Amino acid sequence: MYNTSQTAENDKALILEVKGNSLDDGPGIRTVVFFKGCPLNCLWCHNPESKKALPEISFDPEKCVGCDSCIDVCPEGALDRANPLFVDRTRCTLCMECTRVCPGTALSPVGRYLGVDEVVREIEKDLPFFQASAGGVTLSGGEPTLFMGFASRLLARLKKKRIHTLLETCGFFDYARFMELLYPHLDAIYYDLKLFDPGEHKRFCGVSSETILKNFTELSAACARDNREILPRIPLVPGVTATRENLGSIARFLKDLNVMRVALLPYNPLWLSKLPMLGQTRRTDLSGEWMAGGEIEECRRIFSDFYIV
């Protein structure tokens, strides 16, 4: 049922980035650990590089200086300037030799396997910022719950250092294991709710919403009991999630659970520019434009009874 990465219980996890100085992923100044891999396949994912639970290679033509060092060193002949995407990913074996000789970092590895100690060392550099701003560490992705064993050990280490911990999740996980391994070490949870209808959720995200809604129902009750923060977040995708029917259904669902705080995330089209770097083509039926102020305000009116973060 759950497309758990093979490394989930091993010593290392596939990490996309450990990014400091974040102001958008929880209270205060935070360090965000981005895991690579997700059980969903949302068509509008603003971090498409985080979806596959495997290393990848990225090519940014704007950084390319045209030296052809990468072409000379590639053992598989996978790089060709006649190829519109430059990298033939059917031939590339991800040896990463090209990334090591690229002087402009046009070719770069996407994802690296790190151990808990390595991640903690990166985080510890930012301890003064946490202390000065009441910040902390956020686990994001991708989907951190793909790596529950690793994430549990990491969170336990952070709590020993009295660091505020927050998890961002798509909600598609084994609830019993989540409560055993992750929940005891979390101060807050940001929980994505995208499409209420199970069929529509499967159409646009690859899986039904049933498990996600069930997990949220149980988790919100646990958080209310334990006085722990849980914040539902709704991405506003024009014509997909940002419809009166979908948002109304989610609003009624949250009201029934007495959850009256919500975050609405306006559509960000910048993800489209990342696709060719990963050798992917864009969906022409998804908007390439920012949402207009009036569209966002219409969505907010549906949640007029809520405190909108």
Question: Mind giving me the DSSP string for the chain?
Answer: -----TTTTSSEEEEEEEEEEESSSSSSSEEEEEE---S---TT-S-GGGSSSS-EEEE-GGG-----HHHHH-TT--B-TTSTTSB-TTT-----HHHHH-TT--EEEE-EEEEHHHHHHHHHTTHHHHHHHT-EEEEESS-GGGGHHHHHHHHHHHHHTT-EEEEEE-S-S-HHHHHHHTGGG-SEEEEE---SSHHHHHHHHSS-SHHHHHHHHHHHHHHHHHT-EEEEEEEE-TTTTSSHHHHHHHHHHHHHTT--EEEEEE--GGGGGGTGGGT----TTS--SPPPHHHHHHHHHHTTTSEE-
The pLDDT of residue 281 is 80
Note the pLDDT of residue 238. 94
User: 7-11, 71-75, 251-255, 257-261 — which is least confidently predicted?
Assistant: 7-11
For residue 8, pLDDT over 70 is answered with: no
- Which range (54-63, 138-147, 209-218, 284-293) has the least confidence? 284-293
190 vs 10, more confident: 190
pLDDT over threshold 50, residue 7: no
* CATH classification code of 56-110: 3.30.70.20
Q: Where are the domains of the chain?
A: 12-54+117-308, 56-110
- Mean pLDDT, rounded, for 47-65: 95
pLDDT in tens, 70-86: 999 999 999 999 999 99
Q: Has residue 135 got a pLDDT over 80?
A: yes
Residue 2 has pLDDT above 70, yes or no: no
Judge whether residue 137 has pLDDT over 80. Answer: yes
Mean pLDDT of 288-305: 93
% the chain with pLDDT above 90: 89
Confidence of residue 4 (pLDDT cuts 50, 70, 90): very low
- Of residues 7 and 306, the one with the higher pLDDT is 306
Q: Of 116-130, 168-182, 244-258, 279-293, where does mean pLDDT reach its minimum?
A: 279-293
Band (169; pLDDT cuts 50, 70, 90): very high
Q: Which residue has the higher pLDDT, 26 or 283?
A: 26
Lowest mean pLDDT among 46-50, 197-201, 205-209, 253-257: 46-50
CATH topology of domain 12-54+117-308: TIM Barrel (3.20.20)
Whole-number average pLDDT of the chain: 94
pLDDT confidence tier of residue 138, bands split at 50, 70 and 90:
very high
pLDDT at 5 over 50: no
